[in-house]
Chains A and B, each alone.
Chain A
Amino acid sequence: MRALVTLLALLACLVVALPARAHKPSDAYLTLTPSGAITLVRWDVAVRDLDFALGLDADRDGKVTYAELTAAEPAIVSATRAGLALRTAGGVCELRRPTLAGVASHSDGRYAVLFYEAACPGAGEITVRYDFLFDVDPSHRAIVRVRSGDAEAVHVLGKSEPEKTLSIGATRSFGAIVRQGVLHIWTGYDHMLFLLALLLPAVLVREGKEWRPREKLKEVFFDVARIVTAFTAAHSITLSLAALGLVTLPSRLVESAIALSVIVAALENLRPTLQRDRWMAAFVLGLMHGFGFSSTLADLGLGRGALLSTLVGFNAGVEVGQLAVVSVLVPIAFAARRTAVYRRWVLVGGSIVIAVVATRWFFERAFG
């Protein structure tokens, strides 16, 4: 349709023509992600909108630079903080640690990216109340994405409907959380291969340049117990640190490091150096696996709310899953330990295969 505003302009006899630009009304993108005890809030606001509302162009040269954006961070933080309120049934959430993390591109230009951490009392649904920019642009909207697990729900908040109650994360029974832990160790092939690489030589002992079968089941049992306990201790520590929000690492780093840990564990079987100290490798390398569990925990949306029971339940599930694997694997390995097939093909061949698979993961995760 012939834009009607042309008519207005015709009557006013204004003869100015400028290139058309991407057509999009003002939107902000708000993403809520449960992460451990807190909910991570990412808020993308168009630089154009911030400039209009707050006046970013400090040197008045008609251009807004990144330096001018960062210089206005306090004003941006106070305006955004006033424009967003989160609460649960238990009370108002505290918006902490405002950070201007940088910029991102959307279909109509550059957006400033702000992060907040929302600390909410209690579990359950979160009510989002949005009142930002409406004073200068009533057609402004917030596109709110709520991530919980693989599912993502999208809601739109605007002047006519500024408030919505969103379910974020799922509340599950303790048993369901334990099941998730078991499932995670069984379907998380990287954790499984890591454990497998560490356990394969447990039924043998290195003498000189050769593997010999261990005679007593008791020795095997203690070796396995040391390794499993060390791995469990390591990933429990880091899972707790991550779930409590004390230490967070980028997932690319975590996932690549996990792949690397599998490679190292497999190579150790080909050129053994640690011998009886392999439990130390299980601990040191296992630290990274806890961060891997924590992202699963967050992805499942289990993080918020009843944190302690979630942590305990998920960890218990992981241990149960782990023990089930061990109790099947170790007796078979013990029975086969005297055969050349086990020493040559299962241990050496298996470790090579594990190393190759993990190397592929590493490249995919680190550079993919």
Chain B
Amino acid sequence: MRKARFAVLGGALAAVVALGLVFRPKAGEGAEDVSVPAPGEVLLDRAAAEGRGASAAELRRLRAADKGDEAALARAVAAAKRSIEASRKTGDPRHLGHAEAALAPWWSDADAPAEVLVLRATIEQSRHDFPAALADLDRALQKRPDDAQAWLTRAVVLTVRADYKEAERSCAAARPHVAPLVHDVCVAGVLGSTGKAREAIGRIDAALARPARVPKDLVAWAAGAAGELRARLGEAAAAEADYKRALDLTPDDAYVLGAYADLLLDAGRPREAAALLAAHEDNDGLLLRVVLAKAAAGDPDHARVKAELASRYEASRLRGDVVHRREEARWALHGEKAPKRALDLARANWDVQKEPADARILLESALAASEPRAADPVIAWLEASGAEDVALRKLAAEVKARP
């Protein structure tokens, strides 16, 4: 009897220990979301993910290169360019990290060769570090005053920073070295923000009408720019035609897709906006528009896309990224209905970049948060620049009407 009892107790203990041994390899706690796929399951489709950026082996070789090695410099510049190009094509910012790695020997060198400075500026501006990008471009142009790429890049950064005079000067400096259409699009952003939108549209239309062999990417880019100017003037139908023309040529251009979706959202056509972006949810900026569109349309799929976007913002917040501030402000205002948070984000964003979309979200947040004075910097910018933008002017009038 006694023995039987101890057998039961010992058996129970042994069973528990055995259970522990069985479960041990799974590392127990904190592994609830870990799954073990079938051996043949594809985890990564390289063709879609990689582009043709620099390889890890290449980067490791370049890392060891000597700063003064001209041949290594040429290889590094070529590798960095390929990675930046891969980043453009795939939208994957990892490639920008690879480009940085390719330039490692020269990366922290203030007096790096001109071609390195231009590439570094390109990477910096894509991370929204505009002051650093401008400083590098200025240094590069001191070394090579006829570097068209540097002048164009500088013009775009300065337009974003609302320094229109300098931006125009940069476009002019690039002019002798680029196709006329490139120059026209270069100044389009400046003209659109300085009360000369009509002139900019005229120039682009004229250039596009000229019978010339122009690469279709460039035509699409120009058409997209014209569409944006028309949208700002309130000519929605004409703008839509421009966007469609651009998308016919480059159907996956995220920038035009976003602008077109915004136009549809403003026009109260959310279903069309959601349909337009259906295949582009991988892009955070476009997913934001999908979320707003599905909310406006009362789409049952809204909860899914909203959760997905929230998880992406959470990931970027954890890492400490500020690249998405404009989009996050829009999300806070229209998605989360949190005007105070939106206003904080929109203000911080305005300190960094000053495009019409940045102005708009700050005006909207200031109104929603009942803090009209917070939008004073935008009012001042509108008055100083003479920017023509129907939506901005209307919002500004509303802000000014508030006490």
Contact = CB atoms under 8 A, between A and B. Distances in A.
A108 B20 CA distance: 34
Interface stretch (B44-52, B203-211, B297-305, B374-382): B44-52
Interface string B69-101: 000000000000100110111111110111011
Contact of B46 (A62, A251, A288): A62
B13 A237 contact: yes
Nearest to B287: A22
Interface residues of B, number: 104
B254 A20 contact: yes
Contact of A31 (B24, B30, B189, B283): B30
Interface residues of A, number: 92
Nearest to A143: B318
A103 B43 contact: yes
A15 B215 contact: yes
Contact of B84 (A2, A8, A295): A8
A74 interface: no
Interface stretch (B216-224, B230-238, B264-272, B364-372): B216-224
Interface string A128-167: 0000000111111101000100000010100000000000
A40 B90 contact: no
Contacts of B403: none
A137 B16 contact: no
Interface stretch (B33-41, B190-198, B333-341): B33-41
A148 B26 CA distance: 21
Interface string A261-305: 000000000000000010010011001100000010010000000
A27 B252 contact: no
A102 B312 CA distance: 22
Given A7-B153, A138-B101, A280-B5, A24 B93 contact: yes
Interface stretch (B55-63, B138-146, B383-391, B394-402): B55-63
A138 B59 CA distance: 11
B56 A53 contact: yes
Contact of A4 (B17, B81, B125): B125
B46 A63 contact: yes
Interface string B279-301: 11011111000000000000000
Contacts of A21: 48-49, 90-92, 282-283
A33 B90 contact: no
Interface string A34-59: 01000010100001110111111100
A195 interface: no
Nearest to B310: A107
B212 interface: no
Contacts of A139: 93-94, 96-97, 100
Most buried by B among A40, A104, A137: A137
A156 B101 CA distance: 20
A337 to B, nearest CB: 27
A14 interface: yes
Nearest to B88: A5
Nearest to B216: A15
Given A1-B355, A63-B46, A251-B28, A8 B96 contact: no
Contacts of A2: 156, 189, 221, 225, 255
Contact of B29 (A106, A280, A295): A295
A321 B168 CA distance: 78
B49 A288 contact: no
Contacts of A136: 56, 59-60, 97-98, 101
Interface in B95-149: 96-98, 100-101, 104, 107, 122, 125-126, 148-149
Given A2-B255, A17-B251, A138 B42 contact: no
Contacts of A108: 312, 315
Interface string A241-254: 10000111111010
Given A63-B44, A107-B308, A115-B27, A14 B318 contact: no
B156 A9 contact: no
Contacts of A15: 215-217
B351 to A, nearest CB: 15
Contact of A19 (B25, B279, B316): B279
A277 B1 CA distance: 11
B26 A67 contact: no
A335 interface: no
Contacts of A247: 16-17, 19-21, 24
A21 B31 CA distance: 27
A13 B219 CA distance: 12
Given A24-B93, A103-B35, A113-B34, A4 B156 contact: yes
25 contacts: A2-B255, A4-B153, A6-B217, A9-B85, A11-B148, A14-B217, A17-B252, A18-B90, A20-B91, A21-B92, A21-B282, A22-B91, A22-B282, A23-B285, A25-B93, A35-B29, A42-B30, A48-B94, A63-B42, A104-B35, A115-B31, A241-B17, A241-B20, A249-B20, A287-B13
Given A102-B31, A109-B49, 5 more contacts: A24-B316, A103-B37, A139-B96, A147-B30, A253-B23
What 9 pairs between A and B have smallest CB-CB spacing? Answer: A247-B20, A20-B91, A137-B97, A139-B97, A67-B39, A5-B88, A20-B283, A102-B36, A284-B12
Interface of B: 5, 8-9, 12-13, 16-17, 19-21, 23-31, 33-51, 56, 59-60, 63, 81, 84-85, 87-94, 96-98, 100-101, 104, 107, 122, 125-126, 148-149, 152-153, 156-157, 160, 178, 182, 189, 215-218, 221, 225, 250-255, 279-280, 282-286, 308, 311-312, 314-316, 318-321, 353, 355
